Amino acid sequence: MPRRAASGTGTIRKKTVTRKGKPYTYWEARVTVGRDPGTGRQIQRSFTGQTQAEVARKLTAAVAALDEGTYKAPCKLTVGEWLDIWARDYLGGVKKKTAASYQQRIDLYLRPALGAVKLDALSAHTIQRLYNGLSLGLSPRSVHVVHAVLHHALQQAVKLGYLRFNPADACTLPRIEKTELRPLDEAETKAFLQAIKGHRLEALFTLALFTGMRKSEIVGLTWDAVDFKSGVITVNKQLQRLPGAEEYTLQSPKSGKGRTVAPAPWIMSMLKRHRTEQAKQRLKAGELWEDGGFVFTDAIGHYIPPYTAYSQFKRMAASIGRPDARFHDLRHSYAVAALRAGDDIKTIQGNLGHATAAFTLDVYGHVTEQMKRDSAQHMEQYITGVLGL
């Protein structure tokens, strides 16, 4: 029985082939890197070069890696092929909308620029050139999102041994400038509440202003999530339209898990009145009524699309001199008012659905700093005015 070569043994030989009718000579080394577990046959890798010394260096490096247990077989996948595998097989733990968003970035930006590149040949400089080019037409935040998708995909390739390290780690991303928050102040809040009186979405806007719920969470709110007896609202879904879909559907919340908020009793009373008015609309609509269980509906029970809530809000905001205001600013207005009312940051974090209190502090840190300065000024007035010191 012939002796089988062990892993790490290699041979070098000179070869001559014909190219375009002329002889071409080169050197080739072959090294056994293992055996196929199914057939028992040798798995070999070859190295070529123009000189014997060049090939010998490659062979020596491969044998050393085999001896140290650090040898990795070359990956034959392209970046495009790996992105397809990653998107298909490794995104089972994310929401459908997130997965669709990842796929969109892959199709628009990553595949056209990097798809044909060999995965194990992808360099940080190649990725950096892509980011630099995207920065000319996309916002810094959008470039960060593209980077996040690519980085996640490459990190999975590292875990599987297709890459030794993640080349995206070494890239520099454009700086994201924080947008200055412009919540409604007390005067603007009063003016806004006056402006929306009698508006068909008055209850919707008011709930947003005094609970901090997101627009998608409010338009997706159903009556079974409103507990009048306990005085709480369970925020466990949002109304969204997945990329490519025609209709909106109820999805899990942004954080992936539900939360409860306990609005002021005045808000719960407002919702009771709203439910009574909706019951009247239901009787009027008769068989046309769409019984989806939504809290906020049109005249026949259909949900209020997010874009309708947004456009109507913009009209109301413009009427009080705040055309720059966004629907999301109602959420900020709630958070600032809650902080100034003395609510602790952990409670506000829970009501807003932020992942951590640290994130809430990062977003609204300027408010707490102003509150500290106001507190110091109040104490100064007490010391100099009341105590006469």
Residue with tokens 């293992």: 34
List, in order, residues 6 or more apart from 368 with CB less than 8 Å away: 339, 345, 361
Cα separation of 335 and 25, whole Å?
75
Structure confidence at residue 374 (pLDDT):
59
Contact 83, 106 (CB under 8 A): yes
Q: Provide the pairing of β-strand 42-49 with 226-227.
A: unpaired
Confidence of residue 57 (pLDDT cuts 50, 70, 90): confident
pLDDT of 358 > 80? The answer is: no
Other beta carbons within 10 Å of 97: 18
User: pLDDT of 145-171, one tens digit each?
Assistant: 999 999 999 999 998 888 889 999 999
Domains of the chain: residue spans and CATH: 10-68 (no CATH), 79-170 (1.10.150.130), 186-360 (1.10.443.10)
Confidence of residue 318 (pLDDT cuts 50, 70, 90): very high
pLDDT of 298 > 90? The answer is: yes
Decide which of 376 and 77 is more confident: 77
Confidence of residue 64 (pLDDT cuts 50, 70, 90): confident
Decide which of 37 and 123 is more confident: 123
> Helices H, strands E: what count in the chain?
14, 8
Highest averaged pLDDT of the listed ranges 63-77, 95-109, 328-342:
95-109
pLDDT of 313 > 70? The answer is: yes
Structure confidence at residue 71 (pLDDT):
54
Q: What SS3 class is residue 36?
A: coil
Angle at which helices 96-105 and 140-159 pack, to 10 degrees?
100
For all residues of the chain together, what is the average pLDDT? Answer: 85
List, in order, residues 6 or more apart from 250 with CB less than 8 Å away: 220, 237, 238, 239
Structure confidence at residue 364 (pLDDT):
72
Confidence of residue 9 (pLDDT cuts 50, 70, 90): low
Contact 270, 264 (CB under 8 A): no
Q: Which helix (H) or strand (E) segment is 34 a member of?
A: strand 22-35
Structure confidence at residue 7 (pLDDT):
47
User: pLDDT of 218-228, one tens digit each?
Assistant: 999 999 999 99
Structure confidence at residue 269 (pLDDT):
95
What are the backbone angles phi and psi of residue 276, rounded to the nearest 5°? -65, -45
Q: Which two tokens stand for residue 197?
A: 């009186």
Contact 215, 241 (CB under 8 A): no
Q: Which two tokens stand for residue 67?
A: 């001896």
Structure confidence at residue 11 (pLDDT):
81
Other beta carbons within 10 Å of 124: 15
Highest averaged pLDDT of the listed ranges 25-34, 220-229, 258-267:
220-229
List, in order, residues 6 or more apart from 46 with CB less than 8 Å away: 28, 29, 30
Arithmetic mean of pLDDT, 330-334: 89
